[in-house]
């Protein structure tokens, strides 16, 4: 590609546009932290936890160092370990199952629904049976709210209750989305999210949070966050982690949370325009009635017979970047191959891994630029 065309490349996520919109508010927030020097557990951390609780309606919010730590800390707090099974969807980022393996428990991988990409509840049922047949004790289920849309919280909740499982919702991609009028962060025993820069609400480094209505669990999580601390610093009552959110990141998130609702609305406009421009040539994402999405990714499925590599190359030649989430499901990766999968296999996840591709999506994608993406997709499909 010549230099002229390369300079017209569209960013996959435009972090710069958001920085411009936020103006000096981020610099000012960071400057306040530099002035008070409470880099760990500063007042901004407490403030952010209160702001996040108000935003989503959860009673308790415990911020932490990453989305992965958020998931791991809940499993640690509940004493999940060897001999236990935790049911996870296989079509997700590895961290969902990784945290289960780190505790010594066994992730049991189940399939997803072809339309929503989220956990298939019949496969969940089969996964619980698979775990029992192998002599494992099913303890928990981790639904993932993939690409920004909530999993089927009601149906999963019913199975979890019947089987005696607790629900740990992995909302790393979907904080800000709602299910039947309630925001994520208020379902199951606890919800984990991530503030990795590329997530819909991201900081300028790693960060995460846990949401729960259970006061006792929140207290244990606060202890685990600081090496299992008890009533004082040198009284350690359990094993924990160094898993705090830096004060600087909290200060940044306080500012970003103020414009987050606006950004979610902008992302939804972009998604609606994609659906109108592309709905008749590719399979566009399906948002379930009663759900909203934060559009962490705008993932389409290519029609049968379209070569995905050639499609991506054709878009790249037009300056349009794409990404594949996920080219392999968890059960297809070396570290996870030996873990049990639900009876009936994982055929939907395997098909999705072969035909999904994500298009540029962010709150600052203007109509002219988006039209270029739409034209490039239509061109690549019809040639």
Ligand X SMILES: *Cc1c(COP(=O)(O)O)cnc(C)c1O
Query: Which residues contact ligand X by CB under 6 A?
Result: 66-68, 92-93, 95-96, 144, 170, 172-173, 194, 196, 206, 208
Shortest distance (Å) from residue 3 CB to ligand X: 34
Please, what is the minimum distance in Å from the beta carbon of residue 215 to ligand X?
25
Q: How far is the CB of 208 from ligand X (least distance, A)?
A: 5
> Least Å distance between CB 378 and ligand X?
29
195: closest CA among 67, 304, 297, 307? 67
CB 96 within 8 A of CB 102: no
Measured CA to CA, the distance from residue 108 to residue 161 in angstroms comes to: 18
Q: What is the nearest approach in angstroms of ligand X to the Cβ of residue 4? A: 36
Which residue sits closest to ligand X, CB atoms considered? 67
Q: What is d(CA 127, CA 108) in angstroms, rounded to the nearest whole number?
A: 6
Nearer to ligand X, 16 or 197 (CB): 197
**Least spacing, CB of residue 185 vs ligand X, in Å:** 15
Residue 246: half-sphere exposure toward Cβ, Cα within 13 Å: 14
- Closest to ligand X by CB, 44 vs 169, is 169
Strand 298-301 versus strand 208-212 pairing type: unpaired
Judged by beta carbon, residue 53 or residue 198, the one nearer ligand X is 198
CB of 69 or CB of 263, closer to ligand X: 69
Nearer residue to ligand X within complex by CB, 123 or 173? 173
Sequence-distant (≥ 6) Cβ neighbours of residue 241 within 8 angstroms: 65, 69, 72, 73, 76, 224, 225, 227
What are φ and ψ of residue 299, in 5° steps? -105, 120
If the CB atoms of residues 188 and 208 are measured against ligand X, the closer one turns out to be: 208
- Judged by beta carbon, residue 164 or residue 327, the one nearer ligand X is 327
Q: How far is the CB of 348 from ligand X (least distance, A)?
A: 17
Alpha-carbon gap, residue 244 to 69, rounded angstroms: 9
The residue written with tokens 């192998």 in the block is 134
In the bound state with ligand X, the residue whose beta carbon lies nearer, of 66 and 322, is 66
CB of 134 to ligand X, least distance (A): 25
Answer yes or no: are the C-beta atoms of 340 and 106 closer than 8 Å. Answer: yes
DSSP, res 323: B
* Nearest-10 Cα torsion for 330, 197, 271, 347: 0
Q: In whole angstroms, give the CA distance from residue 128 to residue 87.
A: 7
């Amino acid at each position: 590609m010549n230099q002229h065309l390369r300079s017209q490349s569209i960013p996959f996520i435009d972090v710069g546009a958001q920085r411009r919109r936020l103006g000096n508010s981020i610099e000012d927030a960071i400057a306040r932290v530099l002035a008070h020097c409470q880099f760990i557990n500063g007042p901004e951390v407490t403030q952010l936890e209160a702001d996040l609780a108000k935003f989503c309606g959860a009673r308790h919010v415990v911020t932490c160092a990453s989305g992965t730590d958020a998931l791991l800390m809940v499993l640690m707090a509940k004493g999940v370990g060897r001999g236990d099974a935790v049911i996870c969807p296989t079509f997700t980022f590895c961290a969902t199952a990784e945290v289960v393996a780190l505790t010594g428990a066994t992730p049991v991988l189940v399939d997803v629904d072809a339309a929503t990409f989220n956990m298939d509840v019949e496969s969940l049922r089969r996964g619980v049976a698979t775990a029992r047949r192998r002599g494992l004790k099913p303890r928990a289920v981790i639904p993932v709210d993939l690409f920004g849309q909530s999993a089927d919280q009601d149906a999963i909740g019913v199975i979890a209750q019947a089987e005696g499982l607790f629900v740990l919702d992995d909302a790393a991609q979907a904080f800000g989305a709602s299910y039947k009028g309630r925001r994520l962060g208020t379902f199951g025993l606890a919800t984990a999210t991530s503030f990795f820069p590329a997530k819909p609400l991201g900081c300028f480094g790693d960060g995460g949070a846990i949401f729960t209505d259970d006061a006792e669990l929140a207290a244990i999580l606060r202890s685990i966050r600081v090496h299992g601390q008890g009533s004082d610093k040198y009284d350690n009552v359990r094993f924990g982690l160094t898993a705090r959110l830096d004060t600087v990141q909290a200060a940044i998130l306080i500012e970003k949370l103020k414009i987050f609702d606006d950004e979610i609305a902008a992302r939804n406009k972009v998604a609606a325009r994609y659906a109108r421009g592309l709905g008749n040539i590719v399979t566009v994402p399906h948002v379930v009635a009663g759900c909203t999405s934060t559009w962490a990714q705008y993932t389409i499925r290519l029609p049968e017979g379209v070569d995905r590599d050639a499609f991506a190359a054709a878009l790249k030649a037009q300056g349009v970047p794409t990404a594949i989430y996920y080219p392999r499901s968890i059960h297809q990766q070396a570290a996870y191959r030996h873990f049990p999968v639900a009876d009936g296999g994982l055929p939907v996840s395997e098909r999705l891994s072969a035909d999904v591709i994500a298009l540029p999506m962010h709150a600052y994608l203007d109509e002219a630029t988006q039209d270029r993406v739409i034209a490039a997709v239509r061109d690549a499909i019809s040639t």
